[in-house]
Amino acid sequence: MAAVSIPTPATVRPAASPWPTFAVCAVAAYISTLDLSIVNVAFAEIARTFPDSSRSTISWVVTAYSILFGALLVVSGRLADRLGRKRVFQQGVALFLVGSVVCAAAPSLGVLVGGRAVQGVGGAMMTPAAIGLLIAAFSQAQRSKVVAWNGAIGALGVASGPTLGAFVIHAFGWRAAFWINVPICVVALVMGARVLQESPRQDSTRPDVTGSVLLTLGVAALVWSISRVESTSWSDPTVVSLAVIALVFVGAVIHRSRTHAEPLLPPELFRERTFTAANFSSILFGAAFAGMILNNVLFLRTIWGYGVLEAGWLSVLAPITVAVVSFFVGRVMGRVGFRLLLIAGPLGFALTALLEARILDVERQPWTQWLPLMLLLGISIGCTFPVLAAAAVNRLPADRFALGGAINNTFRQIGAAIGVALVVTVQTASDGLAGFQDAWRVCAAAAVCAALVSLYQPRQVRGV
Protein backbone atom coordinates (compact mmCIF):
# COMPACT_ATOMS: atom_id res chain seq x y z
CA MET A 1 0.00 0.00 0.00
CA ALA A 2 1.20 3.44 -0.84
CA ALA A 3 1.69 6.74 0.89
CA VAL A 4 -0.18 8.73 -1.72
CA SER A 5 -2.97 11.26 -1.80
CA ILE A 6 -6.26 10.77 -3.60
CA PRO A 7 -6.44 12.86 -6.76
CA THR A 8 -9.62 14.68 -7.69
CA PRO A 9 -11.51 14.03 -10.93
CA ALA A 10 -10.26 17.37 -12.20
CA THR A 11 -6.63 16.27 -12.02
CA VAL A 12 -6.92 12.77 -13.44
CA ARG A 13 -8.72 11.81 -16.65
CA PRO A 14 -10.99 8.86 -15.80
CA ALA A 15 -10.27 5.68 -17.67
CA ALA A 16 -13.04 3.91 -19.58
CA SER A 17 -12.84 1.14 -16.99
CA PRO A 18 -10.77 0.85 -13.82
CA TRP A 19 -10.32 -2.90 -14.18
CA PRO A 20 -7.32 -2.85 -16.53
CA THR A 21 -5.58 -0.76 -13.88
CA PHE A 22 -6.64 -3.33 -11.29
CA ALA A 23 -5.10 -6.06 -13.45
CA VAL A 24 -1.73 -4.27 -13.52
CA CYS A 25 -1.86 -3.72 -9.76
CA ALA A 26 -2.77 -7.37 -9.25
CA VAL A 27 0.33 -8.45 -11.19
CA ALA A 28 2.48 -6.17 -9.00
CA ALA A 29 0.82 -7.41 -5.80
CA TYR A 30 1.28 -11.02 -6.80
CA ILE A 31 4.93 -10.99 -7.84
CA SER A 32 6.03 -8.79 -4.94
CA THR A 33 4.48 -11.15 -2.39
CA LEU A 34 5.26 -14.33 -4.32
CA ASP A 35 8.95 -13.66 -3.75
CA LEU A 36 8.40 -13.54 -0.01
CA SER A 37 7.89 -17.31 0.02
CA ILE A 38 8.84 -18.88 -3.31
CA VAL A 39 12.36 -19.65 -2.10
CA ASN A 40 11.12 -21.48 1.01
CA VAL A 41 10.80 -24.75 -0.87
CA ALA A 42 14.31 -24.30 -2.28
CA PHE A 43 16.05 -24.18 1.11
CA ALA A 44 17.50 -27.68 0.73
CA GLU A 45 18.70 -27.01 -2.81
CA ILE A 46 20.30 -23.67 -1.87
CA ALA A 47 21.99 -25.34 1.11
CA ARG A 48 23.48 -27.97 -1.18
CA THR A 49 24.74 -25.28 -3.55
CA PHE A 50 26.37 -23.37 -0.67
CA PRO A 51 27.27 -26.15 1.80
CA ASP A 52 29.40 -23.96 4.08
CA SER A 53 26.42 -21.78 5.07
CA SER A 54 24.25 -22.43 8.14
CA ARG A 55 20.45 -22.51 8.01
CA SER A 56 20.25 -19.14 9.80
CA THR A 57 22.57 -17.62 7.18
CA ILE A 58 20.50 -19.04 4.34
CA SER A 59 17.37 -17.61 5.99
CA TRP A 60 18.67 -14.16 4.98
CA VAL A 61 17.65 -15.08 1.43
CA VAL A 62 14.08 -14.71 2.77
CA THR A 63 14.51 -11.98 5.37
CA ALA A 64 16.65 -9.60 3.29
CA TYR A 65 13.75 -9.24 0.89
CA SER A 66 11.15 -8.82 3.65
CA ILE A 67 13.14 -6.16 5.49
CA LEU A 68 13.88 -3.95 2.49
CA PHE A 69 10.42 -4.43 1.05
CA GLY A 70 8.67 -3.51 4.29
CA ALA A 71 10.88 -0.68 5.48
CA LEU A 72 10.85 1.28 2.20
CA LEU A 73 7.14 1.08 1.33
CA VAL A 74 6.04 4.34 2.93
CA VAL A 75 8.89 6.52 1.70
CA SER A 76 8.56 4.99 -1.78
CA GLY A 77 4.91 5.95 -1.83
CA ARG A 78 5.77 9.54 -0.94
CA LEU A 79 8.40 9.63 -3.66
CA ALA A 80 5.82 8.31 -6.12
CA ASP A 81 3.65 11.30 -5.23
CA ARG A 82 6.51 13.67 -5.98
CA LEU A 83 7.87 12.01 -9.13
CA GLY A 84 4.75 10.40 -10.63
CA ARG A 85 3.23 7.06 -9.71
CA LYS A 86 3.42 5.47 -13.15
CA ARG A 87 7.07 6.45 -13.45
CA VAL A 88 8.00 5.01 -10.06
CA PHE A 89 5.95 1.87 -10.74
CA GLN A 90 7.78 1.21 -14.00
CA GLN A 91 11.16 1.86 -12.38
CA GLY A 92 10.29 -0.45 -9.49
CA VAL A 93 9.30 -3.28 -11.82
CA ALA A 94 12.53 -2.79 -13.79
CA LEU A 95 14.61 -2.89 -10.59
CA PHE A 96 12.74 -5.99 -9.43
CA LEU A 97 13.60 -7.56 -12.78
CA VAL A 98 17.29 -6.72 -12.34
CA GLY A 99 17.32 -8.16 -8.82
CA SER A 100 15.69 -11.35 -10.08
CA VAL A 101 18.37 -11.80 -12.73
CA VAL A 102 21.12 -11.21 -10.14
CA CYS A 103 19.58 -13.86 -7.86
CA ALA A 104 19.18 -16.36 -10.68
CA ALA A 105 22.83 -16.00 -11.74
CA ALA A 106 24.34 -15.57 -8.24
CA PRO A 107 27.73 -17.34 -7.91
CA SER A 108 27.74 -17.03 -4.10
CA LEU A 109 25.31 -16.77 -1.21
CA GLY A 110 26.37 -13.16 -0.61
CA VAL A 111 25.45 -12.19 -4.15
CA LEU A 112 22.16 -14.06 -3.79
CA VAL A 113 21.28 -12.13 -0.63
CA GLY A 114 22.33 -8.90 -2.36
CA GLY A 115 20.06 -9.67 -5.30
CA ARG A 116 17.21 -10.31 -2.88
CA ALA A 117 17.84 -6.89 -1.35
CA VAL A 118 17.59 -5.31 -4.81
CA GLN A 119 14.34 -7.18 -5.35
CA GLY A 120 13.08 -5.81 -2.03
CA VAL A 121 13.81 -2.23 -3.08
CA GLY A 122 12.09 -2.79 -6.42
CA GLY A 123 9.07 -4.34 -4.75
CA ALA A 124 8.89 -1.44 -2.30
CA MET A 125 8.84 0.99 -5.24
CA MET A 126 6.30 -0.70 -7.47
CA THR A 127 3.80 -1.78 -4.80
CA PRO A 128 2.86 1.61 -3.31
CA ALA A 129 2.94 3.33 -6.70
CA ALA A 130 0.59 0.67 -8.10
CA ILE A 131 -1.75 0.96 -5.13
CA GLY A 132 -1.90 4.74 -5.52
CA LEU A 133 -2.90 4.28 -9.16
CA LEU A 134 -5.44 1.65 -8.15
CA ILE A 135 -7.08 3.82 -5.51
CA ALA A 136 -7.29 6.76 -7.91
CA ALA A 137 -9.04 4.56 -10.49
CA PHE A 138 -11.94 3.48 -8.25
CA SER A 139 -14.68 5.38 -6.47
CA GLN A 140 -14.70 5.91 -2.71
CA ALA A 141 -17.53 3.39 -2.34
CA GLN A 142 -15.49 0.64 -4.03
CA ARG A 143 -12.13 1.21 -2.35
CA SER A 144 -12.45 -0.98 0.72
CA LYS A 145 -13.60 -3.92 -1.39
CA VAL A 146 -10.88 -3.37 -3.99
CA VAL A 147 -8.21 -3.00 -1.29
CA ALA A 148 -9.41 -6.23 0.33
CA TRP A 149 -9.21 -8.06 -3.00
CA ASN A 150 -5.77 -6.64 -3.65
CA GLY A 151 -4.71 -7.79 -0.19
CA ALA A 152 -6.13 -11.22 -1.00
CA ILE A 153 -4.03 -11.37 -4.17
CA GLY A 154 -0.98 -10.49 -2.08
CA ALA A 155 -1.82 -13.23 0.42
CA LEU A 156 -2.32 -15.64 -2.48
CA GLY A 157 1.13 -14.72 -3.78
CA VAL A 158 2.74 -15.64 -0.46
CA ALA A 159 0.65 -18.78 0.01
CA SER A 160 1.23 -20.06 -3.54
CA GLY A 161 4.97 -19.39 -3.46
CA PRO A 162 6.00 -22.83 -2.19
CA THR A 163 3.76 -24.63 -4.70
CA LEU A 164 4.77 -22.62 -7.75
CA GLY A 165 8.37 -22.68 -6.60
CA ALA A 166 8.26 -26.45 -6.26
CA PHE A 167 7.15 -26.95 -9.83
CA VAL A 168 9.77 -24.73 -11.44
CA ILE A 169 12.57 -25.86 -9.09
CA HIS A 170 11.80 -29.52 -9.76
CA ALA A 171 11.94 -28.91 -13.50
CA PHE A 172 14.81 -26.43 -13.75
CA GLY A 173 16.57 -26.05 -10.35
CA TRP A 174 16.31 -23.42 -7.62
CA ARG A 175 17.55 -20.60 -9.84
CA ALA A 176 14.35 -20.95 -11.87
CA ALA A 177 12.45 -19.57 -8.86
CA PHE A 178 13.99 -16.21 -9.83
CA TRP A 179 13.99 -16.62 -13.62
CA ILE A 180 10.21 -17.02 -13.45
CA ASN A 181 9.95 -13.35 -12.47
CA VAL A 182 11.43 -12.21 -15.77
CA PRO A 183 8.41 -12.83 -18.04
CA ILE A 184 6.02 -11.62 -15.32
CA CYS A 185 7.96 -8.36 -14.96
CA VAL A 186 8.02 -7.90 -18.73
CA VAL A 187 4.25 -8.33 -18.85
CA ALA A 188 3.85 -5.82 -16.01
CA LEU A 189 6.08 -3.29 -17.78
CA VAL A 190 4.20 -3.63 -21.07
CA MET A 191 0.77 -3.50 -19.42
CA GLY A 192 1.81 -0.57 -17.27
CA ALA A 193 3.07 1.42 -20.24
CA ARG A 194 -0.19 0.91 -22.12
CA VAL A 195 -2.81 1.03 -19.34
CA LEU A 196 -1.65 3.27 -16.50
CA GLN A 197 -2.22 7.02 -16.45
CA GLU A 198 0.51 9.17 -14.96
CA SER A 199 -0.46 11.02 -11.81
CA PRO A 200 0.24 14.74 -11.39
CA ARG A 201 3.42 15.44 -9.48
CA GLN A 202 2.91 16.99 -6.09
CA ASP A 203 5.00 19.67 -4.44
CA SER A 204 5.44 18.43 -0.90
CA THR A 205 8.06 18.26 1.78
CA ARG A 206 10.71 15.62 1.38
CA PRO A 207 9.71 12.25 2.87
CA ASP A 208 11.71 10.94 5.79
CA VAL A 209 14.30 8.87 3.95
CA THR A 210 16.50 8.82 7.05
CA GLY A 211 13.62 7.33 9.02
CA SER A 212 13.29 4.54 6.46
CA VAL A 213 17.01 3.79 6.70
CA LEU A 214 16.81 3.68 10.50
CA LEU A 215 13.82 1.37 10.35
CA THR A 216 15.66 -0.93 7.93
CA LEU A 217 18.72 -1.06 10.19
CA GLY A 218 16.57 -1.60 13.28
CA VAL A 219 14.68 -4.55 11.84
CA ALA A 220 17.88 -6.02 10.38
CA ALA A 221 19.56 -5.78 13.79
CA LEU A 222 16.62 -7.51 15.46
CA VAL A 223 16.56 -10.31 12.87
CA TRP A 224 20.32 -10.71 13.16
CA SER A 225 19.99 -10.88 16.93
CA ILE A 226 17.43 -13.67 16.70
CA SER A 227 19.45 -15.53 14.07
CA ARG A 228 22.59 -15.45 16.25
CA VAL A 229 20.81 -17.50 18.92
CA GLU A 230 21.19 -20.59 16.71
CA SER A 231 24.93 -20.72 17.39
CA THR A 232 25.01 -19.01 20.83
CA SER A 233 22.21 -18.31 23.33
CA TRP A 234 19.65 -15.63 24.19
CA SER A 235 22.03 -14.25 26.84
CA ASP A 236 25.00 -13.98 24.48
CA PRO A 237 26.47 -10.43 24.57
CA THR A 238 26.26 -10.09 20.79
CA VAL A 239 22.62 -11.15 20.77
CA VAL A 240 21.76 -8.70 23.54
CA SER A 241 23.78 -5.90 21.93
CA LEU A 242 22.04 -6.34 18.58
CA ALA A 243 18.64 -6.32 20.30
CA VAL A 244 19.55 -3.08 22.09
CA ILE A 245 20.72 -1.55 18.82
CA ALA A 246 17.40 -2.54 17.25
CA LEU A 247 15.50 -0.81 20.05
CA VAL A 248 17.62 2.32 19.67
CA PHE A 249 16.98 2.52 15.93
CA VAL A 250 13.25 1.91 16.32
CA GLY A 251 13.15 4.54 19.07
CA ALA A 252 14.85 6.97 16.70
CA VAL A 253 12.18 6.25 14.06
CA ILE A 254 9.43 6.98 16.59
CA HIS A 255 11.15 10.21 17.63
CA ARG A 256 11.56 11.36 14.03
CA SER A 257 7.94 10.52 13.33
CA ARG A 258 6.97 13.04 15.99
CA THR A 259 9.20 15.81 14.69
CA HIS A 260 9.59 15.38 10.92
CA ALA A 261 7.43 17.47 8.57
CA GLU A 262 6.44 14.37 6.56
CA PRO A 263 6.99 11.51 9.03
CA LEU A 264 7.35 7.84 8.25
CA LEU A 265 4.73 6.88 10.85
CA PRO A 266 2.37 9.87 11.41
CA PRO A 267 1.37 9.81 15.11
CA GLU A 268 -2.14 11.08 14.41
CA LEU A 269 -3.01 7.92 12.49
CA PHE A 270 -2.30 5.78 15.54
CA ARG A 271 -4.95 7.64 17.52
CA GLU A 272 -7.52 5.73 15.47
CA ARG A 273 -8.25 2.43 17.24
CA THR A 274 -9.12 0.45 14.14
CA PHE A 275 -5.88 1.45 12.44
CA THR A 276 -3.68 0.83 15.48
CA ALA A 277 -5.18 -2.57 16.28
CA ALA A 278 -4.94 -3.69 12.64
CA ASN A 279 -1.25 -2.77 12.44
CA PHE A 280 -0.11 -4.42 15.65
CA SER A 281 -2.16 -7.48 14.78
CA SER A 282 -0.47 -7.46 11.34
CA ILE A 283 2.99 -7.68 12.92
CA LEU A 284 1.97 -10.68 15.00
CA PHE A 285 -0.05 -12.48 12.34
CA GLY A 286 2.60 -11.68 9.72
CA ALA A 287 5.18 -13.40 11.93
CA ALA A 288 2.91 -16.40 12.49
CA PHE A 289 2.06 -16.68 8.79
CA ALA A 290 5.61 -16.40 7.41
CA GLY A 291 6.95 -18.74 10.07
CA MET A 292 4.23 -21.31 9.41
CA ILE A 293 4.74 -21.33 5.64
CA LEU A 294 8.47 -21.93 6.07
CA ASN A 295 8.05 -24.50 8.83
CA ASN A 296 5.51 -26.49 6.82
CA VAL A 297 7.69 -26.69 3.73
CA LEU A 298 10.81 -27.66 5.66
CA PHE A 299 8.81 -30.30 7.57
CA LEU A 300 7.67 -31.89 4.32
CA ARG A 301 11.21 -31.84 2.91
CA THR A 302 13.15 -33.00 5.97
CA ILE A 303 10.90 -35.02 8.30
CA TRP A 304 8.61 -36.64 5.75
CA GLY A 305 11.40 -36.70 3.17
CA TYR A 306 9.37 -35.53 0.20
CA GLY A 307 11.05 -34.19 -2.89
CA VAL A 308 10.49 -30.65 -4.01
CA LEU A 309 7.65 -31.51 -6.38
CA GLU A 310 5.75 -33.63 -3.86
CA ALA A 311 6.09 -30.88 -1.26
CA GLY A 312 4.70 -28.42 -3.78
CA TRP A 313 1.65 -30.55 -4.51
CA LEU A 314 0.96 -30.97 -0.80
CA SER A 315 1.13 -27.20 -0.37
CA VAL A 316 -1.33 -26.34 -3.13
CA LEU A 317 -4.60 -26.68 -1.18
CA ALA A 318 -3.89 -23.78 1.19
CA PRO A 319 -3.46 -21.06 -1.48
CA ILE A 320 -6.52 -22.27 -3.40
CA THR A 321 -8.55 -22.06 -0.22
CA VAL A 322 -7.12 -18.59 0.55
CA ALA A 323 -8.22 -17.32 -2.86
CA VAL A 324 -11.78 -18.67 -2.54
CA VAL A 325 -12.30 -17.61 1.07
CA SER A 326 -10.78 -14.15 0.54
CA PHE A 327 -13.21 -13.44 -2.28
CA PHE A 328 -16.23 -14.21 -0.11
CA VAL A 329 -14.79 -12.45 2.94
CA GLY A 330 -14.31 -9.30 0.86
CA ARG A 331 -18.03 -9.38 0.11
CA VAL A 332 -19.38 -10.15 3.59
CA MET A 333 -17.04 -8.26 5.92
CA GLY A 334 -19.26 -5.19 5.58
CA ARG A 335 -22.06 -7.15 7.24
CA VAL A 336 -20.16 -9.00 9.94
CA GLY A 337 -17.57 -6.33 10.76
CA PHE A 338 -13.81 -6.52 11.21
CA ARG A 339 -13.59 -7.51 14.85
CA LEU A 340 -15.22 -10.94 14.63
CA LEU A 341 -13.17 -11.99 11.60
CA LEU A 342 -9.90 -10.69 13.07
CA ILE A 343 -10.45 -12.75 16.19
CA ALA A 344 -11.76 -15.91 14.53
CA GLY A 345 -9.19 -15.98 11.72
CA PRO A 346 -6.03 -15.90 13.89
CA LEU A 347 -7.56 -18.30 16.42
CA GLY A 348 -8.31 -20.75 13.61
CA PHE A 349 -4.71 -20.35 12.46
CA ALA A 350 -3.44 -21.00 16.00
CA LEU A 351 -5.60 -24.10 16.26
CA THR A 352 -4.15 -25.38 12.98
CA ALA A 353 -0.59 -24.82 14.21
CA LEU A 354 -1.27 -26.59 17.51
CA LEU A 355 -2.90 -29.53 15.73
CA GLU A 356 0.13 -29.81 13.45
CA ALA A 357 2.40 -29.86 16.50
CA ARG A 358 0.27 -32.50 18.19
CA ILE A 359 -0.70 -34.98 15.47
CA LEU A 360 2.00 -34.80 12.79
CA ASP A 361 4.92 -37.17 13.36
CA VAL A 362 7.53 -39.02 11.32
CA GLU A 363 4.93 -41.30 9.70
CA ARG A 364 3.56 -39.84 6.47
CA GLN A 365 -0.21 -39.31 6.54
CA PRO A 366 -0.86 -36.71 3.85
CA TRP A 367 -4.50 -37.54 3.10
CA THR A 368 -5.93 -38.05 6.59
CA GLN A 369 -3.89 -35.43 8.44
CA TRP A 370 -1.97 -32.98 6.26
CA LEU A 371 -4.57 -31.94 3.70
CA PRO A 372 -7.40 -31.35 6.22
CA LEU A 373 -5.01 -29.15 8.18
CA MET A 374 -4.10 -27.22 5.02
CA LEU A 375 -7.79 -26.61 4.35
CA LEU A 376 -8.23 -25.17 7.84
CA LEU A 377 -5.06 -23.12 7.39
CA GLY A 378 -6.31 -21.63 4.11
CA ILE A 379 -9.66 -20.70 5.65
CA SER A 380 -7.91 -18.98 8.56
CA ILE A 381 -5.58 -16.97 6.33
CA GLY A 382 -8.41 -15.99 4.00
CA CYS A 383 -10.43 -14.70 6.95
CA THR A 384 -7.55 -12.59 8.24
CA PHE A 385 -5.27 -10.90 5.71
CA PRO A 386 -7.93 -9.21 3.53
CA VAL A 387 -9.71 -7.94 6.64
CA LEU A 388 -6.50 -6.57 8.15
CA ALA A 389 -5.84 -4.64 4.92
CA ALA A 390 -9.35 -3.18 4.89
CA ALA A 391 -9.49 -2.45 8.64
CA ALA A 392 -6.22 -0.52 8.51
CA VAL A 393 -7.73 2.12 6.22
CA ASN A 394 -11.45 1.98 6.93
CA ARG A 395 -11.65 4.87 9.40
CA LEU A 396 -8.95 7.08 7.89
CA PRO A 397 -9.60 10.28 5.90
CA ALA A 398 -9.50 9.86 2.12
CA ASP A 399 -6.16 11.64 1.81
CA ARG A 400 -4.65 9.21 4.37
CA PHE A 401 -6.21 6.07 2.93
CA ALA A 402 -3.21 4.89 0.95
CA LEU A 403 -0.64 5.98 3.54
CA GLY A 404 -2.46 3.88 6.14
CA GLY A 405 -2.32 0.89 3.81
CA ALA A 406 1.39 1.37 3.24
CA ILE A 407 2.06 1.40 6.98
CA ASN A 408 -0.02 -1.74 7.42
CA ASN A 409 1.97 -3.53 4.73
CA THR A 410 5.20 -2.37 6.37
CA PHE A 411 4.15 -3.79 9.72
CA ARG A 412 3.18 -7.09 8.11
CA GLN A 413 6.54 -7.47 6.33
CA ILE A 414 8.45 -6.61 9.49
CA GLY A 415 6.50 -9.31 11.27
CA ALA A 416 7.30 -11.75 8.46
CA ALA A 417 11.04 -11.13 8.77
CA ILE A 418 10.90 -11.64 12.52
CA GLY A 419 8.74 -14.76 12.16
CA VAL A 420 11.15 -16.46 9.76
CA ALA A 421 14.10 -15.70 12.04
CA LEU A 422 12.25 -17.06 15.08
CA VAL A 423 11.16 -20.27 13.37
CA VAL A 424 14.63 -21.04 12.03
CA THR A 425 16.12 -20.38 15.47
CA VAL A 426 13.56 -22.54 17.28
CA GLN A 427 13.89 -25.36 14.73
CA THR A 428 17.63 -25.64 15.22
CA ALA A 429 17.38 -25.52 19.02
CA SER A 430 15.95 -29.07 19.06
CA ASP A 431 16.69 -32.11 16.94
CA GLY A 432 14.35 -33.55 14.33
CA LEU A 433 10.60 -33.47 14.80
CA ALA A 434 10.77 -31.67 18.17
CA GLY A 435 12.19 -28.55 16.54
CA PHE A 436 9.30 -28.35 14.09
CA GLN A 437 6.77 -28.93 16.86
CA ASP A 438 8.28 -26.07 18.88
CA ALA A 439 8.18 -23.83 15.82
CA TRP A 440 4.49 -24.56 15.25
CA ARG A 441 3.81 -23.65 18.88
CA VAL A 442 5.63 -20.34 18.39
CA CYS A 443 3.45 -19.62 15.35
CA ALA A 444 0.35 -20.51 17.35
CA ALA A 445 1.37 -18.16 20.16
CA ALA A 446 1.91 -15.28 17.72
CA ALA A 447 -1.50 -15.90 16.13
CA VAL A 448 -3.24 -15.97 19.51
CA CYS A 449 -1.59 -12.66 20.38
CA ALA A 450 -2.86 -11.25 17.07
CA ALA A 451 -6.39 -12.28 18.03
CA LEU A 452 -6.00 -10.72 21.48
CA VAL A 453 -4.88 -7.42 19.93
CA SER A 454 -7.98 -7.50 17.72
CA LEU A 455 -10.15 -7.43 20.84
CA TYR A 456 -9.18 -3.74 20.81
CA GLN A 457 -11.07 -3.31 17.52
CA PRO A 458 -14.30 -1.33 18.05
CA ARG A 459 -17.37 -3.56 18.02
CA GLN A 460 -19.40 -1.23 15.84
CA VAL A 461 -16.97 -0.86 12.92
CA ARG A 462 -18.22 -2.33 9.66
CA GLY A 463 -16.47 -2.60 6.32
CA VAL A 464 -17.78 -0.54 3.43
| Nearest by Cα to 279 from 77, 457, 30, 421 | 457
Query: What is the distance between the alpha carbons of residues 96 and 216, in angstroms, rounded to a whole number?
Result: 18
pLDDT in tens, 129-183: 887 787 777 777 776 677 667 767 876 787 778 888 888 998 999 999 999 999 9
pLDDT in tens, 204-239: 667 888 999 999 999 999 999 998 887 778 889 999
Type and span of the H or E element at 350: helix 338-359
Residue 14 has what pLDDT? 46
DSSP 264-332: SS-GGGGGSHHHHHHHHHHHHHHHHHHHHHHHHHHHHHHTS---HHHHHHHTSHHHHHHHHHHHHHHHH
Query: What is the distance between the alpha carbons of residues 153 and 420, in angstroms, rounded to a whole number?
Result: 21
Residue 85 reports pLDDT greater than 50: yes
Question: Are 289 and 301 spatial neighbours (Cβ–Cβ below 8 Å)?
Answer: no
Residue 340 reports pLDDT greater than 60: yes
Summary count for the chain: helices (H), strands (E): 20, 0
Q: Which fold has domain 19-454?
A: Growth Hormone; Chain: A; (1.20.1250)
Query: What is the distance between the alpha carbons of residues 30 and 157, in angstroms, rounded to a whole number?
Result: 5
Please report which confidence band the pLDDT of residue 463 belongs to, taking 50, 70 and 90 as the band edges.
very low
Residue 117 reports pLDDT greater than 90: yes
| Nearest by Cα to 304 from 369, 378, 364 | 364
Ranked by mean pLDDT, the top range of 193-197, 303-307, 330-334 is 303-307
Residue 399 reports pLDDT greater than 80: no
CA distances from 279 to 246, 342, 375, 404 (A): 19, 12, 26, 9
The pLDDT > 90 percentage for the chain reads: 50
What pTM did the predictor assign? 0.86
Alpha-helix residue ranges (DSSP H) falling in 138-236: 140-172, 176-179, 181-195, 209-228
Question: Are 316 and 414 spatial neighbours (Cβ–Cβ below 8 Å)?
Answer: no
Domain ranges of the chain: 19-454
| Nearest by Cα to 149 from 12, 35, 30, 37 | 30
Question: Are 62 and 36 spatial neighbours (Cβ–Cβ below 8 Å)?
Answer: yes
Q: Which residue has the higher pLDDT, 137 or 94?
A: 94
Give the single-character DSSP code of 398.
Answer: G
Residue 402 has what pLDDT? 65
Residue count (the chain)? 464
Residue 418 has what pLDDT? 94
Burial (0-12, 13-18, 19+ Cβ within 10 Å), 94: middle
End-to-end CA distance of the chain: 18
| Nearest by Cα to 329 from 315, 318, 347, 344 | 344
DSSP 36-86: HHTTGGGHHHHHHHSTTS-HHHHTHHHHHHHHHHHHTHHHHHHHHHHH-HH
Query: What is the distance between the alpha carbons of residues 160 and 162, in angstroms, rounded to a whole number?
Result: 6
Residue 105 reports pLDDT greater than 90: yes
Query: What is the distance between the alpha carbons of residues 120 and 92, in angstroms, rounded to a whole number?
Result: 10
Question: Are 35 and 161 spatial neighbours (Cβ–Cβ below 8 Å)?
Answer: yes
CA distances from 295 to 7, 46, 67, 268, 316 (A): 43, 16, 19, 37, 15
Query: What is the distance between the alpha carbons of residues 286 and 67, in angstroms, rounded to a whole number?
Result: 13
